[in-house]
Amino acid sequence: AQSVSQHNHHVILSEAASLELGCNYSYGGTVNLFWYVQYPGQHLQLLLKYFSGDPLVKGIKGFEAEFIKSKFSFNLRKPSVQWSDTAEYFCAVNAGNAGNMLTFGGGTRLMVKP
Amino acid sequence: IAGITQAPTSQILAAGRRMTLRCTQDMRHNAMYWYRQDLGLGLRLIHYSNTAGTTGKGEVPDGYSVSRANTDDFPLTLASAVPSQTSVYFCASRSTGHFLNYGYTFGSGTRLTVV
């Protein structure tokens, strides 16, 4: 079965700092990869997704993620965070053999200090 | 506004009681899902339904049941609640069209506390 690991459970940054959140998955075949964001008190929203093609994917609000197949990784980045980026971030994977199912990582709580 | 409606938004439930969490979508999505969200564990799939009339078990199905009588509704039932079922429950749906349209829509969640 596929699994997703997010190694950083809590991250605290100051505004304008750069962000990188790690995501690793365990599945050797074709994967579809996602990052979701959950702002306080809200439901999950899609930040970006990767299906194929350019491994550097750009999403909303200045976020991007890079798929590195050899490292089974899909790390999320943002050059300069804002206070409004305070949220929980989830990496998710759909493996080729899993039908419609998404497997989520444990999440990373980001706090941005003003 | 198209989307997913979950009810109730929050509930405190006595252990041993039966409870049904409601989920309704108006997007005519074929597939629907129930996840529970627990700190440090992310979202874990409880049950899913690929189309009306069919359901399947996810990663953590024990203690829960679902039904899918029509496209729009996907209720989740706790037959006899236990404290370990205290969690935030999210319903989600997606269209099963071309994979480039792949994407889940999530409801706003139900916060359930079993005491």
Q: What is the DSSP string of A2-14?
A: --EE---SEEEEE
What average pLDDT does chain A have? Answer: 91
State yes or no: pLDDT of A31 exceeds 90: no
Predicted local confidence at residue B1, as pLDDT: 58
Amino acid letter, residue A83: W
B41/A106 CB distance under 8 A: yes
End-to-end CA gap in chain B: 35
- Local confidence band at A98 (pLDDT 50, 70, 90 cut-offs): low
State yes or no: pLDDT of B101 exceeds 60: no
Q: List A residues 16-35 in contact with B (Cβ-Cβ < 8 A).
A: 32
Predicted local confidence at residue A101, as pLDDT: 78
Rounded CA separation A34/A64 (Å):
11
Evaluate whether A77 touches A65 at the Cβ level (below 8 Å): yes
B107 interface with A at CB cutoff 8 Å: yes
Interface test with A, best of B6, B74, B98, B104 (most A CBs within 10 A): B104
State yes or no: pLDDT of A99 exceeds 70: no
B11-23 per-position pLDDT tens digit: 999 999 999 999 9
Q: What distance in Å separates residue A104's CA from the closest CA in chain B? A: 6
Q: List A residues 84-103 in contact with B (Cβ-Cβ < 8 A).
A: 90, 94, 99-103
Predicted local confidence at residue B104, as pLDDT: 84
Residue burial A56-88, b: 16+ Cβ < 10 Å; e: rest: ebebeeebbbbbeeeebbbbbebeebeeebbbb
Average pLDDT over residues B2-13: 93
Q: List B residues 69-88 in contact with A (Cβ-Cβ < 8 A).
A: none
Average pLDDT over residues B36-56: 92
Evaluate whether A93 touches A34 at the Cβ level (below 8 Å): yes
3-state SS assignment for residue B1: coil
Taking the CA atoms of A94, A36, A4 and B45 in sequence, report the sign of the dihedral they define: negative
Q: Considering only CA atoms, which of B85, B98, B87, B58 is closest in space to residue B74?
A: B58
Predicted local confidence at residue A7, as pLDDT: 86
State yes or no: pLDDT of A87 exceeds 80: yes
> Across the interface, which of A6, A49, A100 has its CB nearest the CB of B50?
A100
Average pLDDT over residues A101-112: 92
- Local confidence band at A51 (pLDDT 50, 70, 90 cut-offs): confident
Predicted local confidence at residue B97, as pLDDT: 64
B23-34 per-position pLDDT tens digit: 999 988 889 999
Evaluate whether B59 touches B48 at the Cβ level (below 8 Å): no
Predicted local confidence at residue B98, as pLDDT: 57
Predicted local confidence at residue A97, as pLDDT: 58
Q: Which residues of B touch A24 (CB under 8 A)?
A: none
Average pLDDT over residues A79-102: 86
Predicted local confidence at residue A79, as pLDDT: 97
Predicted local confidence at residue A17, as pLDDT: 97
